[in-house]
Amino acid sequence: MSGGLLVAGTTSDAGKSVLTAGICRWLHRRGVKVAPFKAQNMSNNSAVVVGPDGRGGEIGRAQAMQAAACGIAPDLRFNPVLLKPGSDLASQVVLLGEAVDTITADTFGQLRPRLAETAYGALAELRSAYDVVICEGAGSPAEINLRAGDYVNMGLARHANLPTIVVGDIDRGGVFASMFGTVALLDPADQALIAGFVINKFRGDLGLLQPGLDMLRNVTGRPTYGVLPWALDLWLDAEDSLAYGRVLGRPAAPYGTEWLDVAVVRLPRISNATDVEALATEPGVRVRLTVEPAELAAADVVVLPGSKSTVADLAWLRETGLADAVLAHAAAGKPLLGLCGGFQMLGRAIHDPVESRQGSVPGLGLLPIEVTFDPRKTVRQSVGTVGDDVPVRGYEIHHGYVSRADPALTPLLTTADGVGEGAVLGAVQGTHWHGTFESDGFRRRFLTQAARQAGRTGFRVAPDTSFAAARERSLDLLGDLVEEHLDTDALWRLVEAGPPPGLPVIPPGQPPS
């Protein structure tokens, strides 16, 4: 068979990514050869995938997570178009893993036919290679101002005749109005593909919700396929920036006698913020994202994460007083870590004729390095060791490279080729590598050292925390939620048979004039 389904949402962060992953895991358990797909993603959270030519390419991190739910390796075709915002007005275009252009709202229309053709071609290839492809929409299909050129939501569904379910987040309120309005704003041909709804993040007595579900069916002629409960343990690999709150996950009680408090600066153009999620899986480690200088002062460890616009975010650090807080933290001898763009900020100078085009700007001066931006983007998976041969894996996505460094500077890591990477100076360290904390040995070593530098002598790293196992538990939980709370027989009929015939049109059912 060559079945398919589109998971659309009433809003961003309604639950499309997790529901898609849950359906993928459910089908994978049934022995179905299934793959995920998102025609276009707008996100700075990306994963590196090795393409068929051996080169590294980027896809949205959520699609890499969904691939894991399917029990398969990530593929560049799972997310053929990735837009990485560098500012409010411009985004880098990554096409089948490769950065090809930078666009604005004015120039996007010129490139859109090429992007749509690439997305449609990738989906066709996947549908010929897999039994089922579960597609994820973007934002909301009712963004009628964008419908004319849409190839991600109903444009994709119309092109591939995909039955579509709409998921809404009831925790935000207004879910019934959002679902009704989503369908009513679509034209009749689009409405004919909307098969029904799923409600996400419900807390309380389902009996109190039932009258609303019945009325929704009466006014739309479409069923609700299930109600997913609020699940506190679903926080790994969050796709949308709206998903990031102040504290990551649910910190478990310390393995030792003290907590370790980690403050991650939430940069305006933060990228790959999922780097620090692995820290939050450790007992006794409280990880929070913050924009408050006072919270950096109170933290044991400060992390400067990646950035899609390093120079602009560095200027923001200075404007907000966060740079002074970072410098004070380092001056106190407390551990400070920079990741990719955050690492570049720690140096003496940044020379950037590429991303910001501002030329040379001073860094924070905490590491004796200088960084220069190159038009060629480094995108690759990386393997190496740290310390006494502790293995570490990661991935790189950056334009900047260390162009000058103090010869006596100690590298943080050693690559598989024997080359030093990153830098360590006292309690300050940094690396261009993302994803290093997913290596259990590296994470334990970092936390043990950081606790000592922060004076948390009562903190102990748990000896058996496995990030890979934590991710698998999360994916299994998603599969369990789908199996237990959704009408999986009805979902399978959609996947197998396509959109149900005879679905009613809800007025006005027309595009805006």
The residues carrying an active-site annotation are 340, 434
**In 3D, which of 295, 335, 310, 324 has the Cα closest to residue 426?**
335
Q: What are the E-state strand segments in 170-239?
A: 194-202, 224-229
CA distance 303 to 239: 20
- H helix count then E strand count, the chain: 15, 26
Per-position b or e across 16-33, b if 16+ CB within 10 A of its CB: bbbbbbbbbbbbbeeebe
The distance between the two most distant Cα atoms of the chain, rounded to a whole number of Å, is 74
CA distance 152 to 38: 7
Q: At 347, which helix (H) or strand (E)?
A: none
312: tokens are: 């602009």
13: tokens are: 């962060």
CA distance 279 to 254: 13
The answer to whether 166 touches 183, Cβ cutoff 8 Å, is: yes
CA distance 218 to 358: 58
**360 beta partners:** 351
80: tokens are: 């053929």
The answer to whether 156 touches 4, Cβ cutoff 8 Å, is: no
Q: Give the residue carrying structure tokens 């994470």.
A: 443
Looking from the CA of 274 toward its CB, the CA atoms found within 13 Å total 25
CA distance 38 to 28: 18
Q: Is 188 left (phi over 0), alpha (psi -120 to 50) or beta?
A: alpha
